[in-house]
């Protein structure tokens, strides 16, 4: 049986192991001990692709002048949640670039109205770095969860991926503030981002041990043609799936998504993530006319099983992988 506490040397070996059968077997065992065969669904609403930041890897960075920009209105977002509720979603994830056009008052109004219409649902925000006061008012309005990937846990590597006005110190302070305010907090990192070493990945895992997030999202780096990293290599599918299994062993309680990026890099990528220990999928509730414009990377999947309207197709794929879609908020296990 694999250990669930690992030395740095053991982590390096597992991240790149080709002997995946015992790793995945143990990860699935731990997953089933904590969550059975349930796969929780989240309705993702990508409500704006404007962003004040210029992260070198991201297709919606402010420096991308070739991108058609959009913003969903308050009513647009409520229409998405209404449609999602009818489909069976009980968690909605509002994700966007750091778009300052949406004031704290407007974000609070959106969250409040979703919760007023659907008090049995959870609302997750994924809108980047804010000050503590903003996080506090979102929480008071009814936000339950907040997703903010740290992306890389070492400052030197962070500086290779972001412009000078951004800092890892601030990113981490945001995560700690969210925890202190009582959010269910999600973090995570890219696998195979430019200049990343295996020691960077070990540092990511150690930071997560310190943070103890409720949700951990990872996915392979995928380049975008309109960014400085357009010619960089894609992240490794093998490393990504191995790391999902390692995360499941290290964080048995965690909610771990099998991401759209995994499905983009390989036709069976989502299913591979589930078999390695992931237990969340996040199909897209955004209107089709805008979902193709939220391009963090090239060739993003936004149709078929990735579209929330095709929930039956997703359900069939999840069941074929040996699991079942669970309707409900899908809260994290206590830890």
Q: At residue 291, does pLDDT exceed 80?
A: no
3 state DSSP class of 329? coil
**What is the spatial order of strands in the sheet that 38-41 belongs to?**
280-281, 38-41, 324-326
Q: What is the pLDDT of residue 1?
A: 40
244, two tokens: 């999902």
Q: At residue 13, does pLDDT exceed 50?
A: yes
Mean pLDDT, residues 121-127 taken together = 98
- Quote the percentage of the chain above a pLDDT of 70: 95
Q: What is the pLDDT of residue 260?
A: 84
* pLDDT classification of 148: cutoffs 50, 70, 90: very high
> 10 Å Cβ neighbour count for 56?
17
* Averaged pLDDT score across all residues of the chain: 93
CA–CA gap between residue 322 and residue 219 (Å, rounded)? 22
Region of 100 on the Ramachandran plot (φ > 0 left; ψ -120 to 50 alpha; else beta): alpha
| pLDDT tens, position by position, 198-219 | 999 999 999 999 999 999 999 9
* pLDDT classification of 51: cutoffs 50, 70, 90: very high
Q: At residue 114, does pLDDT exceed 60?
A: yes
Describe the crossing of helices 132-141 and 104-117 by its angle, rounded to 10 degrees. 20
Mean pLDDT, residues 141-166 taken together = 98
62 Cβ partners below 8 Å, 6+ apart?
A: 50, 51, 52, 53, 54
Q: What is the pLDDT of residue 298?
A: 57
DSSP 89: -
Please give the backbone phi and psi of residue 150, each rounded to the nearest 5 degrees, phi first. -80, -20
Q: At residue 310, does pLDDT exceed 80?
A: no
Q: What is the pLDDT of residue 74?
A: 97
Q: At residue 305, does pLDDT exceed 50?
A: no
| pLDDT tens, position by position, 228-259 | 999 999 999 999 999 999 999 999 999 999 98
- Quote the percentage of the chain above a pLDDT of 90: 81
Dihedral (C-alpha) 133, 204, 151, 297: value to the nearest 10 degrees? -150
Q: What is the pLDDT of residue 307?
A: 56
Dihedral (C-alpha) 98, 102, 105, 108: value to the nearest 10 degrees? -70
Scanning the chain, the segments in alpha helix (DSSP H) are 8-15, 20-35, 74-87, 104-117, 132-141, 155-161, 168-180, 198-211, 237-250, 260-265, 269-275, 288-291, 311-320
21 Cβ partners below 8 Å, 6+ apart?
A: none
């Amino acid at each position: 049986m694999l250990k669930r506490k690992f030395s740095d040397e053991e982590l390096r070996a597992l991240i790149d192991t080709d002997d995946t059968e015992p790793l995945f077997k143990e990860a699935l065992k731990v997953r089933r001990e904590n969550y059975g065969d349930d796969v929780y669904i989240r309705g993702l609403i990508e409500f704006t692709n404007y962003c004040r930041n210029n992260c070198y890897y991201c297709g919606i960075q402010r420096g991308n002048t070739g991108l058609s920009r959009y913003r969903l209105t308050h009513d647009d977002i409520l229409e998405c949640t209404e449609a999602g509720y009818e489909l069976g979603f009980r968690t909605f994830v509002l994700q966007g670039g750091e778009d300052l056009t949406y004031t704290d008052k407007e974000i609070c109004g959106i969250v409040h109205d979703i919760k007023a219409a659907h008090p049995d649902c959870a609302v997750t925000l994924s809108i980047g770095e804010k000050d503590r006061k903003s996080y506090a008012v979102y929480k008071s309005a009814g936000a339950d969860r907040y997703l903010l990937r740290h992306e890389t846990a070492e400052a030197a590597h962070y500086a290779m991926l972001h412009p000078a006005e951004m800092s890892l110190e601030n990113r981490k302070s945001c995560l700690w503030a969210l925890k202190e305010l009582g959010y269910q907090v999600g973090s995570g990192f890219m696998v195979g981002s430019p200049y990343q070493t295996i020691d960077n990945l070990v540092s990511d895992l150690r930071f997560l041990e310190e943070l103890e997030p409720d949700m951990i999202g990872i996915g392979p780096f995928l380049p975008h043609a309109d960014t400085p990293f357009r010619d960089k290599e894609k992240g490794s599918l093998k490393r990504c799936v191995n790391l999902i299994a390692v995360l499941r062993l290290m964080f048995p309680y965690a909610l771990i998504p099998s991401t759209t990026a995994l499905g983009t890099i390989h036709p069976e990528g989502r299913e591979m993530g589930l078999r390695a220990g992931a237990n969340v999928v996040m199909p897209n509730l955004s209107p089709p006319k805008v979902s193709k414009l939220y391009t963090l990377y090239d060739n993003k999947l936004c149709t078929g099983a990735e579209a929330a309207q095709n929930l039956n197709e997703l359900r069939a794929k999840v069941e074929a992988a040996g699991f079942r879609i669970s309707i409900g908020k899908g809260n994290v296990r206590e830890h």
